[in-house]
Each structure stands twice: as C-alpha cells, then as structure tokens.
C-alpha cells in the first residue's frame, strides 16, 4: 500500500499524523491505544490546490489528462470556504480578480437564485 499526496493534506486538515498511525497499526498498535477513536470534525475548511508548471515550462501542453503534471500542491485553511479557496489560489501563485466579468452557470433547480447570486458579485 502507498500513501498518496492526499494523506499529508488530510493529516494537516484534521491535525492527526495519519501515515504514522497507519505504520503503527500495521505493527499491531490499535486505534484506542493511539487515542484515535472518534471522528474528527474540524472547525475550519481546508482546500488543496495543484501547482501547475505552465508558466515555468513554456510550450508544454496545457490540456490536462489523467497523468500527473503538477509540480506541487498548496493548502488554504480558513473558517469559511471562500477564505480557504482564496488562500489556496494565492499560495498556488494565482492572482485573484477584484473586478471584471463573471460567468455563472446554473442548473434548472438553482436558476431561481440567479438574482441573489448576481447581487453577491456586484457587492
């Protein structure tokens, strides 16, 4: 078995060293012995974002496929999704827009909320 790059992210998000716990469990230690017996529900939101190499490697194909192309990952943590998302984008080197045009795509069930969503962007 292997630990993907998601294991360190989840470990940091919930505050428990999951890879360490896994190795100890494989050697016979139980979850109660580790003090890890309850579901962890963080009070914050964590967002993982890939750092893609398109600016560093000019001329590489920008179409993404199943193979890994990221040169790393970053994490944003905040008490709200919007803050965590913004922090992850900034950490990945993205510039967050403060004005401009917004495209909003809604399904039939959420179209009735379009005016409310639009006002949120305007404010």
Q: Which CATH class is domain 6-96?
A: alpha beta
Alpha-carbon span 47 to 13, nearest angstrom: 9
Write the Ramachandran bin of 84: left for phi over 0, alpha for psi from -120 to 50, otherwise beta: alpha
pTM of the model: 0.72
Tell me the per-residue pLDDT of 100-110, one tens digit each, with 9 for 90 and over.
888 888 899 98
Tell me the per-residue pLDDT of 50-59, one tens digit each, with 9 for 90 and over.
887 766 667 7
Task: Give the confidence band of 1 by pLDDT, cuts at 50, 70, 90.
Answer: low
Three-state DSSP at 52 gives coil
Q: Please, are residues 53 and 69 in contact by the beta-carbon 8 Å criterion?
A: yes
Tell me the per-residue pLDDT of 22-46, one tens digit each, with 9 for 90 and over.
999 999 999 999 999 999 999 999 9
The answer on pLDDT for 3 being more than 90 is: no
Across the chain, mean pLDDT equals: 88
Q: Where are the domains of the chain?
A: 6-96
């Amino acid at each position: 078995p292997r630990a993907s790059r998601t294991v360190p992210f989840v470990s940091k998000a919930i505050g428990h060293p999951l890879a360490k716990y896994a190795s100890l469990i494989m050697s016979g230690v139980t979850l109660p012995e580790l003090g890890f017996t309850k579901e962890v529900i963080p009070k914050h939101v964590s967002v993982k974002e890939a750092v893609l190499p398109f600016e560093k490697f000019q001329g590489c194909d920008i179409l993404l496929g199943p193979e890994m192309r990221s040169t790393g990952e970053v994490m944003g943590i905040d008490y709200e999704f919007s803050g965590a998302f913004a922090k992850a984008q900034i950490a990945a080197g993205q510039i967050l827009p403060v004005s401009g045009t917004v495209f909003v795509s809604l399904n039939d069930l959420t179209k009735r909320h379009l005016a409310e969503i639009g006002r949120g962007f305007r404010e």
